[in-house]
Structure 1
Amino acid sequence: MSIKRIARHLVQHHWRAKQVFPQAVLDRIEQAIRSSEATHSGQVRFVVEGALDGRPLFRDQPARERALDVFSHLRIWDTAHNNGVLIYLLLADRDVEIIADRGIDAKVGAEGWETICRAMEAEFAAGRFEPGVIGGIAAVSRELARHFPPGGPHPNELPDAPVVM
């Protein structure tokens, strides 16, 4: 457990997510998700968590493990074609994780998701949070469109609104 990480999470905490992602930005992210889902039959969720607290923080939970918890909690795995994708940002660590259901993950693989994550993190390092998220949504959507093109009417199985934790 790193004292530096604990301090960063305690100082930044949840207010930072609301500062970086005000409602107007969240609305544009929601619109980007909605528009992207017209190009494929998959489902995309974006979650930003300002910082870890309590038990996850003091047991030094990695962002990947936390993203898996969020993926399960939000039931992103519960889609008809197993093609739900979570883009998770742990803001205090500026760490992006993409968790994809088995249908799409088998086609894109860890290396493909990692490339998208690193591009998003580069944008965040430059202070460009909104373009980073929208670019990440577009990149994930390109993968979904390639492997799960729209095939007639498909219901919106998951909410498009971003989640701020």
Structure 2
Amino acid sequence: MEIKRIARHLLMTRWTVSAAFPPRTLHAIEKAIRASHRDHIGQVRFAVEGALQIDALLSNTSARERAIDVFSQLRVWDTEHNNGVLIYLLLADRDVEIVADRGVHARVRAAEWETICQSMEVNFRLGRYEVGVLEGVEQVSELLKRHFPAQQERQSELPSKPAVL
């Protein structure tokens, strides 16, 4: 267990999350996700979590493990074509994880997701949260357009609104 990581998580406040993701940024992300849903039949969700709960932190839960939990909690897996994608940010670690349902996972290589995550993390290290998320949503959407193109206009199965945990 790394003491610096524990300190970052314990010092993370709701205010810090709100400063990084003010209402106008959350609205811009929601708008981008909603627009992306017109271009493909994939389902994109974005979730940001300030820090891990103390029990998860002490058990050394990774951002990836937590992202899988959030994928389940937000029911991103519950789509008709198994094409849900969660973009998860653990703000205290500035770690981005992308979790894709089995329909998408079968078509998109892990290296493609990792490239998107790294690009977003570069922006986050520079304090450019809105830019990082919007670029990430765009890149995920490009992959979904390639593998799950829009067939007709239809309702999104998942909310476009970002989840702030």
TM-score range, shorter chain: over 0.9
Other-structure match for 1:52: 52
Task: Give me the CA root mean square deviation.
Answer: 0.9
Amino acid at match of 1:67: A
Aligned equivalents of 2:35 and 2:153: distance in 1? 15
Q: Which has the higher helix share?
A: 1
Whether 1:141 and 2:141 are equivalent positions in the alignment is: yes
Range with greater deviation from structure 2 (78-87 or 15-24): 15-24
Other-structure match for 1:94: 94
Query: Where do 5+ consecutive residues of structure 2 fail to align?
Result: none
Percent of aligned pairs sharing the same letter: 58
Structure 1 segments (4+ residues) deviating >3 Å? none
Query: Where do 5+ consecutive residues of structure 1 fail to align?
Result: none
1:133–1:123: structure 2 CA closer, same or farther, 3 Å change rule? same
Other-structure match for 1:115: 115
Say whether the 8 Å CA contact 1:82–1:101 is kept in structure 2. Answer: yes
Whether 1:66 and 2:55 are equivalent positions in the alignment is: no
Say whether the 8 Å CA contact 1:49–1:90 is kept in structure 2. Answer: yes
SS at match of 2:38: helix
Say whether the 8 Å CA contact 1:15–1:50 is kept in structure 2. Answer: no
How many residues are paired up?
165
TM-score by length of 1: 0.97
Other-structure match for 1:163: 163
Aligned equivalents of 2:62 and 2:18: distance in 1? 22
Other-structure match for 2:33: 33
Whether 1:3 and 2:3 are equivalent positions in the alignment is: yes
Say whether the 8 Å CA contact 1:13–1:52 is kept in structure 2. Answer: no
Say whether the 8 Å CA contact 2:38–2:153 is kept in structure 1. Answer: no
Say whether the 8 Å CA contact 1:36–1:138 is kept in structure 2. Answer: yes
SS at match of 2:44: strand
Aligned equivalents of 2:74 and 2:109: distance in 1? 22
Aligned equivalents of 1:17 and 1:106: distance in 2? 33
